[in-house]
Amino acid sequence: HTAFAVSGSKLTQKLRAKAFAQLLRQEMAYFDLPENHSGSISNRLSSEALSNQELLGARLGVICEAMATLGFGILLGFVFSWELTLIVFAYIICMFLLAFFQIRWQARLNKCSEHILGQASALATEVLHNMRTVKQLSIEYEILQQFSHLVNQAFTVRRNDTVISGLLLSICWGSQPFFLYILYWIVLVRLESNEMHDKDTLMVFAFVTFAFETLRFINTLTRQMGSSLSAARGFFDLFDRTPTIDNGSVDGRQLENFQGQIEFNQVEFSYPSRPTIRVLNKFQLTIEPGQWVALVGRSGCGKSTVIQLLQRFYDVTHGKVCLDGVDIRDLNIHWLRSQFSLANQEPILFDMTIAENIAYGKVNPSLEDIIEAATKANIHQFVISLPQGYETRVGAKGSHLSGGQKQRIVIARALFRQPKVLLLDEATSAMDSYNEQIVQRALVQAQTEDPNRTSLTIAHRLSTIHSCDVIHVLSKGHIEESGTHTELMQKHGLYYHMYVQTTIE
């Protein structure tokens, strides 16, 4: 039993680690699916793995022991009276079949209740992550209603499961006295006709007692077995899943002397979760090495999507995206992503120190490099004003910092990595114009210092992209017009109107 218990917990630990590794390999579209929200996934990793452990641990030892007892009993029974043993054996098979159907039924119900509990878990995680918004909107009551509704639904499924379980268990246990009655009757008839001896009768009944004990035990475990089976299926489905973009792949080319040329060639793209809506349509864009390019357009026109496609978070539906003329689908995924640094629209910080956040992913980073990046991003003065300086923890998702401070740290992180291609997606949108100007100046200087770096900037505030080499205006899924700020203003097209509008605002 101890060996089973130890191997059970070891197996569960391996199962969890393998499941997590497999999750990390999955493509972004997998996490867009409602059943794969963070709450559902953490529920699966904790409770389903535990459910497996319950069966695979010490209980498996007890099951093996019971089955061995049953096997020994059958053998003994066959030796003393094979006809009677055959009858008992037939009964046992029927009971096992019943248990088998019960396990399958339980597995199905369990999958259903786990799905509902996964939704409840996803809701709870989302609420806990966005507690400020929940409080500000005063929607605690509505959320509680939603949560209670889901928990009640799960209860209803589990209640049905308990009732059915109980019924089947009653059939199993209730049928035993009747079966024993028939068995006694057959034995008595055979004793009277001298077809059987007293000694054999005793042995056969000893075997029947063994068998019934095993049956009782197996029956009490069917519920547990059902939930473990459904949990195991969930894990195996994940293990068998081949991601469309394998984030763990080590295959693919690494360009020896990457220049920084980017090309979107007749790209069409729809998000897998919304296949009918085409975000990019015949999208054509070429960025030359060392160019500083800006991408502008109305909200929701697909600018951030371009950046996601470039890093291969999603694959294009048609056409191709190339780096130095090579399709990114032929490139090594880690090499590809390591060429880019992204300062995002929604700055994401980890619950670590400021220094760790800036140098994230680099082993033994030098403090001078961290300070240099922080100075360029205009956050150094703020950091040294904190009692713990660069060792200050930023809280979950950077909740101890303001939006603009988070953005500046994310820009520092992007600059620290000294990428070949710098991607700035509304990277300064939460800053006041004073800070924005300082950061903009630093970014222009960084571009001048490293003329080999290609940069792609997305901005709503058009005043921040005047000095870019080329500005592309994205509309209806493709580039409507391109040129420098002066050329586009003279053209009196889309850019001109957007510019006039933002200036009036």
Ligand X SMILES: Nc1ncnc2c1ncn2[C@@H]1O[C@H](COP(=O)(O)OP(=O)(O)OP(=O)(O)O)[C@@H](O)[C@H]1O
Binding site for ligand X (CB under 6 A): 32, 271, 273-274, 279, 297, 299-305, 345
SS in 3 state form for 250-276?
CCCECCCCCCCCEEEEEEEECCCCCCC
> Rg of the Cα trace of the chain?
33
- Which contacts (CB < 8 Å, 24+ apart) does range 175-181 have? 175/95, 176/212, 176/215, 179/91, 180/208
- For residue 253, the minimal CB distance to ligand X (Å) is 28
332 vs 345, beta carbon nearer ligand X: 345
Beta-bridge partners for 340: 421
- For residue 311, the minimal CB distance to ligand X (Å) is 13
Q: Is 261 in the site for Mg ion (CB under 5 A)?
A: no
10 binds, among Mg ion, ligand X, none (CB under 5 to 8 A by kind): none
- For residue 307, the minimal CB distance to Mg ion (Å) is 8
301 binds, among Mg ion, ligand X, none (CB under 5 to 8 A by kind): ligand X
**Closest alpha carbon to 305 in 341, 280, 333, 322:** 280
226 binds, among Mg ion, ligand X, none (CB under 5 to 8 A by kind): none
304 vs 405, beta carbon nearer ligand X: 304
304 vs 378, beta carbon nearer Mg ion: 304
**Closest alpha carbon to 223 in 172, 149, 152, 147:** 172
- For residue 338, the minimal CB distance to Mg ion (Å) is 23
Q: How many residues bind Mg ion (CB under 5 A)?
A: 2
8 vs 477, beta carbon nearer ligand X: 477
Burial of 87 (0-12, 13-18, 19+ CB in 10 A): middle
299 binds, among ligand X, Mg ion, none (CB under 5 to 8 A by kind): ligand X
- For residue 303, the minimal CB distance to ligand X (Å) is 4
302 binds, among Mg ion, ligand X, none (CB under 5 to 8 A by kind): ligand X
Residue found by looking up tokens 């004793």 in the block? 191
Look up residue 253 and give its two tokens.
């080319």
109 vs 301, beta carbon nearer ligand X: 301
How many Å apart are CA 179 and CA 21, to the nearest integer? 51
Using DSSP, state whether 245 is helix, strand or coil. coil
277 vs 363, beta carbon nearer ligand X: 277
227 binds, among ligand X, Mg ion, none (CB under 5 to 8 A by kind): none
Q: Which residue has the CB atom at the shortest distance from Mg ion?
A: 304
Using DSSP, state whether 237 is helix, strand or coil. helix
- For residue 130, the minimal CB distance to ligand X (Å) is 18
- Residue-level length of the chain: 505
SS in 3 state form for 282-319?
EEEEEECCCCEEEEEECCCCCHHHHHHHHCCCCCCCEE
427 vs 443, beta carbon nearer ligand X: 427
43 vs 305, beta carbon nearer Mg ion: 305
387 binds, among ligand X, Mg ion, none (CB under 5 to 8 A by kind): none
- For residue 131, the minimal CB distance to Mg ion (Å) is 25
- For residue 299, the minimal CB distance to ligand X (Å) is 3
Buried/exposed 93-117: b ≥16 CB within 10 Å, e otherwise: eebeebbeebbebbbebbbbbbebb
How many Å apart are CA 377 and CA 407, to the nearest integer? 9
213 binds, among ligand X, Mg ion, none (CB under 5 to 8 A by kind): none
Per CB under 5 A, contacts with Mg ion among 294-353 are 304, 345
7 vs 345, beta carbon nearer Mg ion: 345
47 binds, among Mg ion, ligand X, none (CB under 5 to 8 A by kind): none
- For residue 284, the minimal CB distance to ligand X (Å) is 17
Give the DSSP letter of residue 393.
Answer: B
How many Å apart are CA 138 and CA 219, to the nearest integer? 49
Q: Which residues make up the interface to Mg ion (CB under 5 A)? A: 304, 345
